[in-house]
Structure 1
Amino acid sequence: MSFVKFHKDLIVYQKAFSAAMEIYVISKKFPLEERYSLTDQIRRSSRSVNANITEAWRKRRYEISFISKLNDADGEAAETQNWLDFAFACEYIDEKTYLDLYNTYDEILGMIVSMTINSSKWTFTQTKDPNSK
């Protein structure tokens, strides 16, 4: 793991941002009747992955908070896969686009899970008070 100073340096953030932007572009082609349902939902969940990773990064002083925000990012990434399922089933996206994005979110999910499992490597350690028992 190379030194990460900002949340934007995280590969998982970069992958999620790129995927969310791709979803934004392809969702512009969804039918107008989907504007307040599928289009809004898939854009919101895909963007929320990044928002939660950003929040996790800022909360890494507290391992439990860090893990909690990563769990939120995990849930949003899985939700995005759900909306991709619907977009494909409704024939709003082709199979290649569907598989590429779905697999990208599998990678993102794997990275988030890895960060969660190895949270102590990402969070600040609190030094124990030498006077406490």
Structure 2
Amino acid sequence: MSKFKFEKLLIWQKAMDLGEVVNILIDNFPKKEYYNLSSQLLRAIDSVALNNSEGSIGQSNPEQNRFLGYSIRSLAEVVTCLHKALRRKYISEEQLQIHYNESFHLMNMMIAFKRNLK
């Protein structure tokens, strides 16, 4: 039973799902990354869903468009963090590809949604 507009958005649902998967992924990062890459990655992935929801509540289309832009930029930050995690050998190439593809698909969905707001 969804009462908020954003709960019905597929981009919000996918961002929520990806956020939970990434949260589990960072559990395997070394403790030295707790305040660095782990924290940055978690904040970035959470920002994707948070900005989708914030932009959809009683906002005009230009305002929602602005928040979608924030979400897209946060998702780009997530991808960069994942690349850093691979370079530091915290994740495998396979894990990177899975989350990279999910991120790319979500980004394209958000861009399409953003275009339809105009």
TM-score, reference length from structure 1: 0.82
State the shift of 1:96 in Å.
1.4
Q: Distance in 2 between matches of 1:32 and 1:84?
A: 17
Q: How does 1:121-132 map to 2 (within 5 A)?
A: none
Q: Structure 1, residues 73-99: CA drift from partner, whole Å, max 9, x if none?
A: 010011100000001111101111111
Q: Which moved more, 1:23-32 or 1:8-17?
A: 8-17
Higher helix share: 2
Matched, 1:74 2:79: no
What secondary structure does 1:118 align onto?
A: helix
Letter in 1 for 2:69: N
Identity of aligned residues (%): 23
Which of 1 and 2 has greater Rg? Answer: 1
Unaligned ranges ≥5, structure 2: none
Name 2:48's counterpart in structure 1. 49
State the shift of 1:14 in Å.
1.3
Q: Distance in 2 between matches of 1:49 and 1:77?
A: 6
State the shift of 1:59 in Å.
4.0
Q: Structure 1, residues 96-132: CA drift from partner, whole Å, max 9, x if none?
A: 1111101111011101111111104xxxxxxxxxxxx
Off by >3 Å, runs of 4+ in structure 1: none
Provide the aligned length of Structure 1 versus Structure 2.
116
